[in-house]
A and B are shown apart, each in its own frame.
Chain A
Amino acid sequence: MDGLAFPRIQALGIAAARGKEPKGAPGKSDSGSSRSAGGRVLGCQGAALEVECSAGRGGVVCLAAGCVLLRAPERGWRRGGGAARGIPAGRSSESLGAVSPQEEATIKQSDIRIMAGKVKWVTDIEKSVLINNFEKRGWVQVTENEDWNFYWMSVQTIRNVFSVEAGYRLSDDQIVNHFPNHYELTRKDLMVKNIKRYRKELEKEGSPLAEKDENGKYLYLDFVPVTYMLPADYNLFVEEFRKSPSSTWIMKPCGKAQGKGIFLINKLSQIKKWSRDSKTSSFVSQSNKEAYVISLYINNPLLIGGRKFDLRLYVLVSTYRPLRCYMYKLGFCRFCTVKYTPSTSELDNMFVHLTNVAIQKHGEDYNHIHGGKWTVSNLRLYLESTRGKEVTSKLFDEIHWIIVQSLKAVAPVMNNDKHCFECYGYDIIIDDKLKPWLIEVNASPSLTSSTANDRILKYNLINDTLNIAVPNGEIPDCKWNKSPPKEVLGNYEILYDEELAQGDGADRELRSRQGQSLGPRAGRSRDSGRAVLTTWK
């Protein structure tokens, strides 16, 4: 185990990146605020709602950090054993203190588990909600060049950590907050690809979940707006487009999540023009990378107070095989500040609208008290009051269900690295028939706090996440069974536990989906907005 090294990120690069951060006035460049500031119509789904610039202000940092070259370390640090880290390796918490080299040499991995040494943490996302949580636990900050146990990193850094060229391995007492190929879920095109594959597999197995209606649409697995990859699936898209020529589609670049390059189309000629333009552009060499997804635009969103909103829900995955995931009870709705009106205006106008999004990012309408955010319990109270209890419970059941399905869809391809956990930001739009649509999943949900409540929420989110990912706040051992006791879950609740679910037949799953047997726990759903757990797991 010894001699494992971890790539060193050029310290300078990080420093430079960090130097940038304070430039944004607090809250101003928060992705949350840009989202809520919204824009007209499209702003909401087109750019503001569906797009998460990977962490707003953090995004600047991440991007910069991502550009940093990774070099093979000139001096690898010694890993494991705690020796090189100078962690007092006493057998009990009382025997902290200096230890002789001889003693050190005898320390085994198993001792570390019970050792009350201090976790050493690193982060390249300097958010107070993170740092406060680390410090509260008495953890020690180190630089990425030193030994660390816990690294909360940006998606760019994780890419480098697990890149083939780097070829490094983490040791048992190191934990990171991303799965190596999380992009299977968090990149728009890959997520759709995986879900499509998952559906086909279920269909092949003859699973009742893959049942279709008379129009060939999946009854239960149709939870992502119809999506195609461009240019690859161009012909398929055209075929679909011709089926319903009056619909609006939204174009998004695959990899990026900056809100840039997003636009709406409602005529085929527009997409032709786009493909012509991109071919003749001076960035021909990059056109390969410029893969787009085109999705059917949800043009009948549920409106509350006449406004469009999307849902941001936090989901923690501690392991993919077996799948174990947790739902955070305190999600929220993000409202556009501008009224929604279904628009059939021209593409050019839409561009104007999108420009507005950028301009309105820091719009005057943005309210710094509530930040355009509404708790999920408010949503539940509103829906139950105006639409009834049954449909509301069904909606929330379905939301939970589609999240689990999306995770199941990627579980087989996910590199289930035991050092990893991940907290995802799920973006969901509800249409006016109360059907939830999965829009996208973010690997780095914004940790910037736009309001006081936001800060509390995100602080608690990280707190509860750490309680599950790093049991007792002690030096982690990634070989543990990853099933924390109920008491530490905080505001998380188990969304799905594959091990527990085994034994439950698929027919049961289907039945409960149809609401015929919601099971004993579903019957306990409450007005107070406590999330309902169905027993389809």
Chain B
Amino acid sequence: MLQEESDLSLIIAQIVQKLKGSNLYSQLERQAWASLQRPEIKLESLKEDIKEFFKISGWEKKLQNAVYSELSVFPLPSHPAAPPEHLKEPLVYMRKAQGSWEKRILKSLNSMCTELSIPLARKRPAGEQKELLNKWNEMGTDEPDLSLFRPVYAPKDFLEVLINLRNPNYENGDSLSFRTHLGLIQVPLKVKDIPELKECFVELGLNIGQLGIDDSTQVPPELFENEHVRIGQKVLAEQDSAAAQQYIRQGSPTALRAELWALILNISSQPEDVLYYEQLKTNVIQHDLLVDSLIYKDVKLTASNDDYYFVFEDYLYQVLLCFSRDTSVLSHFAFNSASPPKSYIRGKLGLEEYAVFYPPNGVIPFHGFSMYVAPLCFLYHEPSKLYQIFREMYVRFFFRLHSISSHPSGIVSLCLLFETLLQTYLPQLFYHLREIGAQPLRISFKWMVRAFSGYLATDQLLLLWDRILGYNSLEILAVLAAAVFAFRAVNLMEVTSLAAAEAVLADLSTLKVMPLLQIFLFATVT
């Protein structure tokens, strides 16, 4: 009890600290001062009257949403005496593994620099700046020669790293025992089992209405959909982040999704946000970074070829190039096991005072990175808004999909959750695939790393991401991956090679996400 109280006060202190520097804080202060002119504010009951004013004018809601947003993003408080790196990742071997993975990435990036003799960054000459500004809206038409560039890494490379991850304190002998994990991931982490998942995802239960199931043509809209839409409108009218998050667990109506997500992510798109985006754009125009070519290359390799997303190619550049310059992204490294790579001014290698983060946001894009942005283009057509939503999605969720950590939403836990679910509930399938050299994770890994973007039809993907936002967790990705295997189990039992198994699972665009999840979680005899 005492512990809880002190935890709480710690959280409060942290949040107050953070909000003090925020724009909202100064806005609230200004409003409070301005309210003094109002007749209903009395000197004798000043504090209460101002509180009342905040409540009526909606500022209290904004403060609540800000606090709620902090709570969702910030990790649970650790022991007051714990060093800050514990916030990033409490397990030493995970931290070490992430560190050496970063070194590899950086080395690969540097060697590409040397090979191509291209600087990491350079200022663009005035003419080039002007040219880029002119074609800002059609960067896709530009065809720079990118044949020499290659993605720094692909999910496949990352999987190899995860497979080799070991806990040095865990006896992991060569001989098979009941403790041996038959999957690829060999580290012991606590992951949820089906009863726990059922409890966690209780709103996905069979008796609860779901968009993605109960809005199909066979179901009269009076049964669920109409009412659900009505509630959604009410939630939006209330502008309450917490209510929106609860609501979206049953899925968001298409027409309300953009607003609901913005509310949950606490993105309001103020004029200063637009200005901030414009500043980032200016940075892009002034400086050429090596990562720009990587971004170009990635978009060309992925989204530009995608049936759903090719239309948005130019938006992807507008978002991703600005993202790479955004130093505000750096703050998420406080709770990300990864650390931003450093680069040194030429000739000052190793001298800390000449160190800069590279790229400025500290995130090196990999093959498929742009697919995190692509589905959002269906929701927001204004680049600055699209940008904010993406950045928030990244620092809340997506970074966990390509950094090594023990977090329940981290990719290692997702892999383990996936393998455990499959091994527990479809042991024959798991065994069969393992025997033919088609470890299921080898197929499902890329789905999870991309949060299924580019694999599912967009409407289904958005229904899935609704639940990520609703539960503030990525675990649903592992559940879906297992559900997909379960759904195609009959065909998979017949294959005899990895290639054949991959072929069975090559096209997920016809899948309906919600029925799969619901059946796997709630209708499978366990």
Q: Separation in Å of the A458 CB from the closest CB of chain B?
A: 16
The answer to whether residues A382 and B255 also contact, given A370-B310, A453-B307, A523-B221 and a CB cut-off of 8 A, is no
- Would you call B394 an interface residue if the criterion is a C-beta within 8 Å of the partner chain's C-beta atoms? no
Assess whether B255 is in contact with A338, with CB atoms less than 8 Å apart.
no
- Would you call B60 an interface residue if the criterion is a C-beta within 8 Å of the partner chain's C-beta atoms? no
Assess whether B458 is in contact with A527, with CB atoms less than 8 Å apart.
no
Q: Separation in Å of the B206 CB from the closest CB of chain A?
A: 21
Assess whether A385 is in contact with B310, with CB atoms less than 8 Å apart.
no
Q: Which of A362-408 contact B (CB under 8 A)?
A: 364-365, 367, 369-370, 372-375, 377-378, 381-382, 384-386, 388-389, 392
The answer to whether residues A335 and B254 also contact, given A370-B305, A386-B381, A526-B215 and a CB cut-off of 8 A, is no
On chain A, the residues within 8 Å of B502 by CB distance are: none
User: Which of B74-82, B287-295, B347-355, B372-380 lies on the face that meets chain A?
Assistant: B372-380
A365, A370, A523: the one within 8 Å of B307 (CB): A370
Q: Separation in Å of the B135 CB from the closest CB of chain A?
A: 8
Q: Separation in Å of the A44 CB from the closest CB of chain B?
A: 13
On chain A, the residues within 8 Å of B357 by CB distance are: none
User: Which of A57-65, A66-74, A135-143, A302-310 lies on the face that meets chain B?
Assistant: A302-310
The answer to whether residues A385 and B254 also contact, given A369-B305, A453-B307, A528-B459 and a CB cut-off of 8 A, is yes
In angstroms, Cα B217 to Cα A370, docked, is 28
B138, B255, B458: the one within 8 Å of A339 (CB): B138
Identify the interface centre among A338, A369, A372, A378: most chain B CB within 10 Å of its CB: A378
- Would you call B306 an interface residue if the criterion is a C-beta within 8 Å of the partner chain's C-beta atoms? yes
Q: Mark B287-322, 1 if CB is under 8 A from A, else 0.
A: 000000000000000001111101111110000000
On chain B, the residues within 8 Å of A375 by CB distance are: 307
On chain A, the residues within 8 Å of B305 by CB distance are: 367, 369-370
Q: Which of B215-236 contact A (CB under 8 A)?
A: 215-217, 221
On chain A, the residues within 8 Å of B257 by CB distance are: 385
Assess whether B215 is in contact with A306, with CB atoms less than 8 Å apart.
no
- Would you call A75 an interface residue if the criterion is a C-beta within 8 Å of the partner chain's C-beta atoms? no
Q: Which of B307-342 contact A (CB under 8 A)?
A: 307-308, 310-315
Identify the interface centre among A375, A523, A528: most chain B CB within 10 Å of its CB: A528
On chain A, the residues within 8 Å of B211 by CB distance are: 527
Residue of B nearest to A337 (CB): B141
In angstroms, Cα B305 to Cα A372, docked, is 10
Identify the interface centre among B253, B305, B311, B313: most chain A CB within 10 Å of its CB: B311
In angstroms, Cα B138 to Cα A304, docked, is 13
Q: Which of A519-537 contact B (CB under 8 A)?
A: 523-524, 526-530
Q: Separation in Å of the A434 CB from the closest CB of chain B?
A: 13
A337, A389, A524: the one within 8 Å of B255 (CB): A389
Residue of A nearest to B380 (CB): A386
Identify the interface centre among B305, B310, B379: most chain A CB within 10 Å of its CB: B310
Assess whether A529 is in contact with B315, with CB atoms less than 8 Å apart.
no
Q: Mark B137-160, 1 if CB is under 8 A from A, else 0.
A: 110110100000000000000000
Assess whether B217 is in contact with A385, with CB atoms less than 8 Å apart.
no
In angstroms, Cα B257 to Cα A388, docked, is 10
Q: Separation in Å of the A336 CB from the closest CB of chain B?
A: 10
On chain A, the residues within 8 Å of B141 by CB distance are: 337-339, 365
Assess whether A382 is in contact with B310, with CB atoms less than 8 Å apart.
no
On chain A, the residues within 8 Å of B215 by CB distance are: 526-527
The answer to whether residues A367 and B143 also contact, given A339-B137, A389-B255, A530-B217 and a CB cut-off of 8 A, is no
The answer to whether residues A305 and B255 also contact, given A378-B308, A523-B221 and a CB cut-off of 8 A, is no
Q: Mark A27-39, 1 if CB is under 8 A from B, else 0.
A: 0000000000000
Assess whether A381 is in contact with B311, with CB atoms less than 8 Å apart.
no
- Would you call B197 an interface residue if the criterion is a C-beta within 8 Å of the partner chain's C-beta atoms? no
On chain B, the residues within 8 Å of A392 by CB distance are: 255
Assess whether B458 is in contact with A378, with CB atoms less than 8 Å apart.
yes
- Would you call B258 an interface residue if the criterion is a C-beta within 8 Å of the partner chain's C-beta atoms? yes
On chain B, the residues within 8 Å of A306 by CB distance are: 137-138, 314-315
Residue of B nearest to A452 (CB): B307
Assess whether B217 is in contact with A386, with CB atoms less than 8 Å apart.
no
In angstroms, Cα B307 to Cα A530, docked, is 18
On chain B, the residues within 8 Å of A386 by CB distance are: 258, 378-381
The answer to whether residues A385 and B378 also contact, given A306-B314, A527-B253 and a CB cut-off of 8 A, is yes
In angstroms, Cα B490 to Cα A200, docked, is 63
Assess whether A524 is in contact with B217, with CB atoms less than 8 Å apart.
yes
In angstroms, Cα B140 to Cα A367, docked, is 13
In angstroms, Cα B274 to Cα A6, docked, is 70
Q: Separation in Å of the A395 CB from the closest CB of chain B?
A: 13
Q: Separation in Å of the B320 CB from the closest CB of chain A?
A: 14
* Chief secondary structure at chain B's binding surface: helix
On chain B, the residues within 8 Å of A524 by CB distance are: 217, 221
Q: Separation in Å of the B385 CB from the closest CB of chain A?
A: 10
Identify the interface centre among A306, A370, A384: most chain B CB within 10 Å of its CB: A306
On chain A, the residues within 8 Å of B216 by CB distance are: 526, 528
On chain B, the residues within 8 Å of A369 by CB distance are: 305-307
Identify the interface centre among A377, A384, A385, A524: most chain B CB within 10 Å of its CB: A385
Residue of A nearest to B381 (CB): A386
The answer to whether residues A305 and B315 also contact, given A381-B378, A381-B459, A523-B221 and a CB cut-off of 8 A, is yes
Q: Mark B241-267, 1 if CB is under 8 A from A, else 0.
A: 000000000000111011000000000
In angstroms, Cα B459 to Cα A362, docked, is 32
Assess whether B217 is in contact with A307, with CB atoms less than 8 Å apart.
no
In angstroms, Cα B462 to Cα A339, docked, is 27
Q: Separation in Å of the B250 CB from the closest CB of chain A?
A: 14
In angstroms, Cα B312 to Cα A307, docked, is 9
On chain A, the residues within 8 Å of B377 by CB distance are: 305
In angstroms, Cα B254 to Cα A533, docked, is 19
In angstroms, Cα B310 to Cα A256, docked, is 32
Assess whether B314 is in contact with A529, with CB atoms less than 8 Å apart.
no
In angstroms, Cα B222 to Cα A523, docked, is 10
Q: Mark B379-423, 1 if CB is under 8 A from A, else 0.
A: 111000000000000000000000000000000000000000000
The answer to whether residues A339 and B378 also contact, given A389-B255, A530-B217 and a CB cut-off of 8 A, is no
Q: Which of A295-342 contact B (CB under 8 A)?
A: 304-307, 335, 337-339
Assess whether A305 is in contact with B458, with CB atoms less than 8 Å apart.
no
Residue of B nearest to A392 (CB): B255
In angstroms, Cα B144 to Cα A364, docked, is 13
On chain B, the residues within 8 Å of A528 by CB distance are: 216, 459
Residue of A nearest to B304 (CB): A367
The answer to whether residues A338 and B138 also contact, given A388-B255, A530-B217 and a CB cut-off of 8 A, is yes
In angstroms, Cα B310 to Cα A373, docked, is 9
Assess whether B307 is in contact with A305, with CB atoms less than 8 Å apart.
no
In angstroms, Cα B459 to Cα A431, docked, is 24
Assess whether B258 is in contact with A305, with CB atoms less than 8 Å apart.
no
On chain A, the residues within 8 Å of B253 by CB distance are: 389, 527
Q: Which 5 pairs show the lowest CB-CB distances between chains A and B? A: A339-B138, A389-B255, A305-B311, A527-B254, A305-B312
A interface, CB within 8 angstroms of B: 304-307, 335, 337-339, 364-365, 367, 369-370, 372-375, 377-378, 381-382, 384-386, 388-389, 392, 453, 523-524, 526-530
B interface, CB within 8 angstroms of A: 137-138, 140-141, 143, 211, 215-217, 221, 253-255, 257-258, 304-308, 310-315, 377-381, 458-459, 462
Given contacts A386-B379, A392-B255, A527-B254, 12 further A-B contacts (CB under 8 A): A305-B314, A306-B138, A335-B310, A338-B138, A369-B307, A372-B310, A374-B310, A378-B308, A381-B378, A381-B458, A384-B255, A385-B254
- Some 5 contacts from A to B, beta carbons below 8 A apart, are A339-B138, A375-B307, A384-B255, A385-B254, A389-B254
